[in-house]
Each structure stands twice: as structure tokens, then as C-alpha cells.
Structure 1
Amino acid sequence: MPLHGHVLRIISFCQIAIGVLGNSLELFLYNLPKSPRHKQRPIDAILAQLALANAVLLLSKGIPEAILYFRTVNFLGNYGCKLVFYIQRVSRGTSIYTTCLLSAFQAIIISPNSHRLATLKAKTPKYVRLTCGMGWMLTLLIEVYVPMYITGPRNDSSSHIRGVDLLYCYWENVLSEIAILPTLRDILFVGCMVSASSYMVFLLCRHHQRTQQIHSSRLCPRSSPEIKATHTILLLVGTFCSTYFLSCGFLLYKVYTVDSSIWVVNVSTFITLCFPAISPFFLIHNEVNESSCVPSWRHSSLC
């Protein structure tokens, strides 16, 4: 393996280790019993599920990569590849679903009070856990046919079936009709996520403009909770969308470029894992800032 290949692998291992640590800390933080004054919020269940899905994605990607780094032979086999890849796809789909759910939930919570939204706001927290469970079931069903096209690694590149070499496995017929359904799901959730987040940013900015004088007289010298939540939303959505479209671009490049080198797969994997590795630190940072200065707008902030 050339020097740049070793460098990419080491960077990926550091990324996975830091991401697993951050998501484990986030999972512990949002499952930690709160004091009687600070009860567990409904949004904590969404954040805990996001941390769990991201941690599973990082581990299912990182463990085969680490084993492959020290062993060059096929260690998974056909059935092992199908299982590992299925876990990766399910955790990735659940991460997309949960990020969309997080944006939609917060958009409903901070929406202006009206007769139409009053009932929805009252019922939404009751169905948070049910909605989280439905996300796992939906992803399990959508991805159930994808492992049919996963096999062990292939040495011959003369196959007429267009696919992607995943280093330790091979994804054949990657642009088949079966793979279109997960793609449509991703596009739908990304569209809903961007729409909900844009609406939420608009509401937060408008609220900040109306209450700018009130916030300027606060004893706490930090920025207002609205601005903190806005920054967190922009970071999460911006990071997810940029990494999602970049990874899709590298995937299409790998599919349509016959002689593409192995660095394309390594870079694509790194980009794919950027969001699950970075997102917990955005949320933890926002949570720490919120606890350092308790605002009156606490229940409508992101975390």
C-alpha cells in the first residue's frame, strides 16, 4: 500500500475512534436521569437515537477497515459482507431519518402558537419514542433487499455488471431498481430536513429581532439561546448535506470510472463518516453552553 493509503487509513481510524467516543458520551448524556427540576425532555430520545445510529455506523465501518488494514485476505466472506453492509445501511438510514425527525420536531415546538398547532404541540412529545421506533422498522424494511447485491471482494474487473469495490466487499449492480428506493427515501428526508431547518432558522431570526433589546439587557454575557440553536441547526444540516452530496458524488465517480484508484473509496468513506463523527460534539457543545446560562427560552432551544 502506498504512503498516502496508510495516511488515509490512520486518519479514518482517528475519525472513527473520536466519533465513537463522542456518540457514546452523547448517548450517556441524554439517557442520564435528570434532577427533579430538569426532567428528561422528549427531544432527548431523538438525540439518543441519533447517537446510537451514528455509533453503530462508525463501528460497522471501522471494524472491517481495521481488520483489513492488518489482514489482506478476505475475512468476511459473502454472508459476512451481507451482514456488515446491511448494518451499515440500516444505521446510515436511521441517522438520516433521525436528523430529519430532529429538525421537524424542533420546528413544531418553536412555531408560533395558534389554534391549529396547539393540539399538535401537545401530542407531539407523546409520540416521540414511537416515531423513533418506527424509524428503525422503516429502515430495516427498505434496506432488506440491498444485501442481495453484496458479495465478497472480486479480483477481476472485467465483469459487465457495474458495481463498487468496497475493499472488503463488492457491491454489484449498484444502480439497480432495488437501490432506487433507499435513494428516494434519502432525498425525501433530506428535503424535509432542509425545509424544516430553514423554517426554524427563519423563526429564530425573527424572534431575535423582536426581542433584541430584552436580550441586550441580560446579565449573562453570552449570545441568546436563539442564536445558539440557529448555529447548531446550521452546522448539523450544513455538515450533513455537504457530506451526503459529496459522498454521492464520489460513489457515482467510482461507479462510472473503471480505472479509479483505491483512494476514491477511502476518501468517500472518510466523507461519509464526517457527520456521525462530528455531530455529537455540536450537540454536546450546545448543551454545555445552555447549562452555563439558563435562559427563559429554555424549552424552545435545540437541546
Structure 2
Amino acid sequence: MYLHDTVLGIIFLSQTAVGVLGNSIFLWFYIFTWFNSQRWMPMDSILTQLTLTNTIVLLSQGCPLLISYFRTGYFLGVTACKIVFYIQRVSRGLSICTTCLLSTFQAVTISPSNSRLAKLKVRALKFTHPSCLLCCIINMILEINVPIYISGSRSRNNTHTSGINLLYCYREKKFMEIVILPSLRDILCVGCMVCNSGYMVFLLHRHHQRVKHIHSITLSSKTCPETGATQTILLLVGTFVSAYCISCGFILYKVYVTHSGSWVMIVTTFIALCFPTISPFLLIHRCIQILRPCCAARWRPNVRSQNKL
């Protein structure tokens, strides 16, 4: 085993382990919150799907790389390469659509009562479950042609120039049939996220200007739940858009530069896994703030009983 492979294996192992652990902790927080409050909010379905999708992204991209680096060889056959890459593409597209859904529903939720979006607020929140299911179906259909253009793994010593090296599989360069519709999906979703983020930033700025004259410590030191949730979603969207744009730049470089080397795909994969690794920890902070009232309510009876004694 080469030192280069060992170092890369340790890097991807750490990234995958941290990301899976973070998503698992966030799911545990949600289960704990549900058992305490016994209610399921409409946005919870989108957050749960995003967490599960990020876990699949980490496992489908991280595990093959780990086995490939630590075994110092290509271990996947033709069928395995097609299945693994199809799962990667579907989970990646589902992550984009789910993040777009999250920003859209949050923008509708915090919209003022006198705006046009306020009329769609109640109706839109009823369609969270169908929207999540529709995203899954659409992405599975869009990526249905992906396995056709994926070939099996080859030896490291084989200079295969007719395809794009995916570190453990190869993809044919003539793949316009499978990138046109997914690219349109990505452009629409990213554009929608940018518009939603701009709208939410505008609403937060206007809200800040309205409460700026309030000098009470009790009012100014607390942040309403809607504002805190919006700030968290803005961080999520900003992280996703940044990682997506950078990874797209490296992918275009890999496609149009013949002798680019495998380092481009290594950096691209690392950047692509940054969002599913970081996002659960941004959400955990909000989840802890949601759990505080539940914990406080549990402790209050004990404190009163001790005072009576």
C-alpha cells in the first residue's frame, strides 16, 4: 500500500465518519424531540429527508473510495460500478432538490401576512410530504440512463483515454444524454435557492430595522424561532451553493482538460462531501435550542417538589 493511498484513505475515512456521525446525532435529536413533544411539524419531513440523503451521499461516495485506497486496487465490477454511481447521482440530485425545497418552504413560512406568499403558506405546508416524494421520483427518472455510460473498473496501469476516471470506475466522455436534464435541474434548483436566500435576507434585514429602536435587554437578547431557523437555513444554502460551484468548476476542468490527472476527481469528491458533512452540525445547533424548553419543562416539577420539601 502506497503512502499516498493511505493518506487519502485516512482523509476520506475521517470525512465520512464525521459526516455519518453528525447525521446520526441529528436524527437522534429529532426522534427525541418527537417523543417529548408528540408532534411532527411539516418542515421536519424535509429535514429528515435531507439528513437521510446526506448519509447516503457519504456512504455511496466515501465507502468505495475507502475500500479502493486501503485495498490498493479496483474492486468493483461492471454491475457494481453502475449501481454505485447510479445511487451517487440520485442521492446528489435529491440533496439539491431537498435543499431547494427547504429554502422555498422557509421563505414561504417567514413571509409577512400582507404578502402574496402568505396566501400560499397554509396550502404549501400541506404539500411537504408529496413534494419530498416527488423529488425522489423525479431524480430516479432523470438518472435512469446513467448506468449505460458507466464501464467497469480498470487497472491503474491501464491508460484509458476514452473515458473519465472516477477513481474506481470509468465514465464515457459521450454522456450529453445524461447531463442535459440533470444540469437543468441543478441550475433551476441553485437559482431558486439564491432567490429564496436573497428574499429571506431582505426580510431579516427589514425585521432588524423594525426592532432596532427597541432597547429592552429581554427583547433584544432573544431571537425568535423563525429568525433562528432562517439564519440556519441561510447557512445551509450558502454552504451548499459554495461547495456546488467549486465542485462544478473542477468537473468542467476534468471534462475539457485531457491530461488533468486523478487529483481533480479527488478534490472534487472531497468538496462534494463537505456539505453532507457540515450540514448536520449546523442543524444540531437549532435542534438543541428546540430541546431546551422540553428539558426546562421536565426539570420544573422536580424543582417545585424540592422547594416544598
Q: CA deviation at 1:97?
A: 0.4
Residue 282 in 1 paired to residue 282 in 2?
yes
- The DSSP-based 3-state class of the residue aligned with 2:127 is helix
Q: Give the distance between the partners of 1:115 and 1:204, measured in 2 at CA.
A: 15
Q: Please list every run of 5 or more consecutive structure 1 residues that lacks an aligned counterpart in the other structure.
A: 295-303
- The DSSP-based 3-state class of the residue aligned with 1:76 is coil
Gap change, CA 1:118 and 1:240, over 3 Å in 2? closer
Contact 1:215–1:224 (CA<8 Å) still a contact in 2? Answer: no
Contact 1:146–1:178 (CA<8 Å) still a contact in 2? Answer: yes
Q: Which residue of 2 aligns with 1:249?
A: 249
Q: Which residue of 2 aligns with 1:71?
A: 71
Q: Which residue of 1 aligns with 2:306?
A: none
**Deviates most, 71-80 or 99-108:** 71-80
Amino acid at match of 1:252: L
Q: CA deviation at 1:42?
A: 0.8
Residue 157 in 1 paired to residue 159 in 2?
yes
Residue 138 in 1 paired to residue 138 in 2?
yes
Q: Mark the structure with the bigger radius of gyration.
A: 2
**Deviates most, 28-37 or 260-269:** 28-37
Q: Which residue of 1 aligns with 2:103?
A: 103
Q: TM-score, normalised by structure 1?
A: 0.87
Gap change, CA 1:53 and 1:138, over 3 Å in 2? same
Q: TM-score, normalised by structure 2?
A: 0.85
Contact 1:164–1:170 (CA<8 Å) still a contact in 2? Answer: yes
Q: Please list every run of 5 or more consecutive structure 2 residues that lacks an aligned counterpart in the other structure.
A: 295-309
Q: CA deviation at 1:67?
A: 1.3
Contact 2:49–2:132 (CA<8 Å) still a contact in 1? Answer: yes
Please list, as runs of the form range in 1=range in 2, the aligned pairs for 1:123-272 lying within 5 A after superposition. 123-155=123-155, 156-157=158-159, 159=161, 161=162, 163-173=163-173, 175-214=175-214, 216-218=216-218, 221=221, 225=225, 228-272=228-272
Q: Give the distance between the partners of 1:65 and 1:52, measured in 2 at CA.
A: 20
Q: Give the distance between the partners of 2:32 and 2:293, measured in 1 at CA.
A: 20
Q: Give the distance between the partners of 1:98 and 1:31, measured in 2 at CA.
A: 20
Q: Encode CA deviations 1:92-144: one digit per residue, 9 max, x unaligned.
A: 11000000000000000110113744441111222111110111001000010
Q: Give the distance between the partners of 1:204 and 1:91, measured in 2 at CA.
A: 32
Amino acid at match of 2:61: K
Gap change, CA 1:117 and 1:237, over 3 Å in 2? closer
Q: Encode CA deviations 1:220-244: one digit per residue, 9 max, x unaligned.
A: 8455656634542332122111111
Q: Give the distance between the partners of 1:202 and 1:260, measured in 2 at CA.
A: 42
**Deviates most, 278-287 or 63-72:** 63-72
Q: Give the distance between the partners of 1:84 and 1:23, measured in 2 at CA.
A: 21
Gap change, CA 1:35 and 1:169, over 3 Å in 2? closer
Give aligned-pair identity as a percent.
Answer: 54
Q: CA deviation at 1:40?
A: 1.9
Amino acid at match of 2:126: K
Q: How many residues align?
A: 292
**Deviates most, 228-237 or 164-173:** 228-237
- CA RMSD in angstroms comes to 2.5
- The DSSP-based 3-state class of the residue aligned with 1:164 is strand
Q: Which residue of 2 aligns with 1:298?
A: none
Q: Which residue of 2 aligns with 1:60?
A: 60
Q: Give the distance between the partners of 1:244 and 1:115, measured in 2 at CA.
A: 31
